[in-house]
Amino acid sequence: MIKQLTPNIPDYELLDTGDGEKLERFGRYVVRRPEPQAIWRKSLGDKEWLKAEASFLRDAKSEERGEWRLKPEMPSRWMVGFDYKDMHLRMRLALTSFKHVGIFPEQAANWEFIYDTICDLRASGIERPKVLNLFAYTGGATLAARAAGGDVTHVDSVKQVVTWSRENMESSGLDGVRWIVEDAMKFVEREVRRGNKYHGIILDPPAYGRGANGEKWILEEHICRMLECCASLLEGSNAFLVFNLYSMGLSSMLARTAVHQAFGSPREEQMGELYFEDRSKKQIPFGTYYRFRR
């Protein structure tokens, strides 16, 4: 089933988009960042855009890096929350040189799915479903899985990001996550050799990245092998997969085709775009998703 999803997250609001930028509110602070998909004109005037407490400026020598221009009242760190049913997440935000702030708010739609699915697995008699979160970043999906009672393994190649994730776990009143600082491909290949199995796999790969020891990740070159390994690790029944793609031009249909080749056809599947709508009703996708249960 193709479905476009936009989560309800009170601590986030997309205020305006256009002319290659987006204006967003995270908690009480407004930030201004580049957004290449915003090919239309801005709706709000310059006066509103200039109210942003933090504005990201790209480095002329780099397509990815840049620096933040801050107003005096803008802190270096602040907190936001996300509540869903009995899940109460609290996450620290900070301004990074890659324009990220430590949370991808569109993923809250997947956090709800992860939470509900693990609760269903536990209700079916699986006391602590084993969940693997790959390319796990600051751990929103990890926290959702742990809050639902999952036995969670969190894998990311950047030690500082894993430390950040641990802080988010503690701020959310949770514990018991298994932290792994390693290249995701190396980890899953070793898990396959060990014969380990998981009831849920969350796969959130970047278009390009580096492993803990400099290993190069290029999505188009490595995703098929990654999916094959994950297919070996996932239980044959009472299991789920969440797969996200951020690269422009890669659709949920492509994700579905690649997953079906590796895993076969599932019992229940969903796919589409994760998006937000700004105050002027302009809708912008922030990634595609494919997820299934079996």
Domains of the chain: 12-70 (2.60.40.1180), 77-293 (3.40.50.150)
Provide the pLDDT confidence category of residue 50 given band limits of 50, 70 and 90: very high
Provide the pLDDT confidence category of residue 136 given band limits of 50, 70 and 90: very high
DSSP H or E run through 283: strand 283-293
Three-class DSSP category at 79:
strand
> 219 with 247: CB under 8 angstroms?
yes
Look at the block and give the residue holding tokens 């299934």.
292
Report the pLDDT averaged over residues 155-179.
98
Tell me how crowded residue 280 is: count the other CB atoms within 10 A of its CB. Answer: 14
**Which burial class, exposed, middle or buried, applies to 64 when counting CB atoms under 10 A from its CB (0-12, 13-18, 19+)?**
exposed
Reply yes or no on whether the pLDDT at 248 is more than 70.
Answer: no
Eight-class DSSP state of 18: E
Look at the block and give the residue holding tokens 């994950």.
230
Residue 162: the pLDDT is: 98
Which has the higher per-residue pLDDT, 249 or 89?
89
Distance CA 278, CA 36 (A): 16
Report the pLDDT averaged over residues 270-284.
97
Continuous H helices in the chain: 46-49, 108-123, 140-147, 159-171, 184-194, 219-233, 252-263
Residue 286: the pLDDT is: 95
**Choice among 230-234, 249-253, 262-266 with the minimum mean pLDDT:** 249-253
Report the pLDDT averaged over residues 31-36.
96
Reply yes or no on whether the pLDDT at 252 is more than 90.
Answer: yes
Q: Return mean pLDDT, the chain.
A: 96
- Percent of the chain with pLDDT strictly greater than 90: 89
Query: Who contacts 173 (Cβ-Cβ below 8 Å, separation ≥6)?
Result: 88, 90
Reply yes or no on whether the pLDDT at 171 is more than 80.
Answer: yes
Residue 1: the pLDDT is: 73
